[in-house]
Structure 1
């Protein structure tokens, strides 16, 4: 082999080596550009909130049409909803989650008003209120103060009181030690009807009832089933005091960092996934209670004084609405027929 051929071969090998080196450098950079979004749920695959977030993932992928990765952390792997909201506000760990409005009260006093006790007459009224985008001013406030977007509204479960002893009237629940969510409106409402409300972390409710710290809590069917509250409080007092609204939230900091077409897909998918979640939970609610009662896991107890309970709570809700500047929203809700 002559000298010129050897020189050409060395040049080709050097060029190939350089290409491999450049490829190795470029590949990780390309890999880093792949977008991954992290979601969080307190519950397993069977819960309506988890199903809502799975639907959200499916819809985003459909509308975006480009590669995007989703990682959904279930069964409280990343803590509880209160932590999820704080993480989304900070733009770390969690990008999207379904969160109770009560856990947004640190950032917005108006947030817990979204599903305050006795706010809705029935499921039909509840759906009309949501379809009218009645809570947009509150969503705007949350986006401004917490930097978290409410991109859809799930929920639809009717909340009742689960108790370790039966009760069917206001007199029966006088001084009842009941766990409530951490927003002031819940404590005020339950105090107004003569109960003794206390704020306890959601994952501590079971043990608190078991150990006699409290006697009761309040939740929708899906929560009672998932958390097995019926094991320590098998009496379900049918107060029907609230219909849940559980916003599907997205981190504003994450959202602003994403491509415009992915942002559009997220907004569209969020609204549709929320509607899907409402349909699931509202339709499953009664069926879950039927199944648990048939299996002997709980007993539904009619609550004779529900109307009187509402009369006691209504002034509290009206005063709270005025206090937080939501009286116009409250009037609009009451005006929807």
Structure 2
């Protein structure tokens, strides 16, 4: 008898594969998303599940927990590292920083010039050394790269230049590179949980946040901060991640399918998000829900951030990676 155990919520979800005289039972894998069916991340994970089932061709149940049913991305990553509750998810690199200082470098502010540059970096697999470090330190595998949303600052007031950003109380992701870069620009960054941003702005704890179009729409940030300052300071990379502990318990043929499906689902997610980004903002603006504010000082903002990014790359041993990324024309 052969038994394969994968993580289920609080240890309840069991995946059992039996050979011999017993009929084979389905392996069960649990995915998690903070968002509903309409969000690009959920669509990427749903595609991952579909591709896994098609590739494997044997009994396989995919359970996708949506709408933050199992918590937030930071918790998903911790669960996967521990081998419980969540087997796969989309997780922002910033939420991996507890395990790997290098992880947030994957989509740090002003790392990419534009979408063509971003695609070239991913096509050349320049981030593999960081993915390998994350796998070693956290025992979580980066099996595909979704993302492609361009991040801007949503605020309670229009801010068209660097002077307007001075001392702005803005929520940033919980990784040092985000606080450092925003401080370098002159803002006053603070780290609070993603699901507390709306109330934080509403209650005056913060004045702004930063997100891609899908997040602004899904979390309805435009209701409390309708001014979208077009800083275009980052292009997201949102890895599809898979628990190493779960992976090692899977049959070899399903392991191969995880690797294959991860790449394909990541490409699917990038196509969705990068193509939807502008359309979502145009729809929100047409409906009078937000106003896009041109930002005149993007180059000055980048100039303030570049030394911080270079110092961070040196600190985490990613100088060679940064040089290769910058060398792409």
Q: TM-score, normalised by structure 2?
A: 0.93
- Give 1:68's aligned residue: 60
Q: Alignment partner of 1:43: what SS?
A: coil
Alignment counterpart, residue 223 of structure 1, candidates 215, 230, 234: 215
Deviation at 1:138, TM superposition (A): 0.5
1:309 corresponds to 2:304: no
Question: Which segments of 5 or more consecutive residues in structure 1 lack a partner in the other structure?
Answer: 1-25
Find the aligned partners of 1:147 and 1:119 in 2 and give their Cα distance: 26
Residue correspondence of structure 1 range 1-337 to structure 2 within 5 A: 33-337=25-329
Q: Alignment partner of 1:172: what SS?
A: helix
Question: Which segments of 5 or more consecutive residues in structure 2 lack a partner in the other structure?
Answer: 1-17
Q: Alignment partner of 2:163: what SS?
A: coil
Find the aligned partners of 2:216 and 2:24 in 1 and give their Cα distance: 42
Deviation at 1:96, TM superposition (A): 0.1
Deviation at 1:66, TM superposition (A): 1.0
Deviation string for 1:30-83 (max 9, x for gaps)?
Answer: 589421000000000000000000100111111111110000000000000000
Deviation string for 1:253-309 (max 9, x for gaps)?
Answer: 000000000000110000000000000000000000000000000000000001100
Deviation string for 1:188-221 (max 9, x for gaps)?
Answer: 0000000000000000000000000000000000
Q: Which structure 1 residue ranges, 4+ long, deviate > 3 Å from structure 2?
A: 29-33
Report the aligned-residue RMSD: 1.3
Q: Alignment partner of 2:321: what SS?
A: helix
Deviation at 1:317, TM superposition (A): 0.2
Find the aligned partners of 2:286 and 2:26 in 1 and give their Cα distance: 49
Find the aligned partners of 1:89 and 1:167 in 2 and give their Cα distance: 40
Structure of higher CA gyration radius: 1
Find the aligned partners of 1:170 and 1:181 in 2 and give their Cα distance: 21
Find the aligned partners of 2:41 and 2:24 in 1 and give their Cα distance: 30
Question: Given that residues 97 and 175 in structure 2 are in contact (C-alpha distance below 8 angstroms), is that contact kept between their aligned partners in structure 1?
Answer: yes
- Give 1 or 2: higher helix fraction: 1
- Give 2:7's aligned residue: none
> Which is further off, 56-65 or 119-128?
56-65
Q: Alignment partner of 2:110: what SS?
A: coil
Find the aligned partners of 1:62 and 1:301 in 2 and give their Cα distance: 45
Find the aligned partners of 1:308 and 1:145 in 2 and give their Cα distance: 36
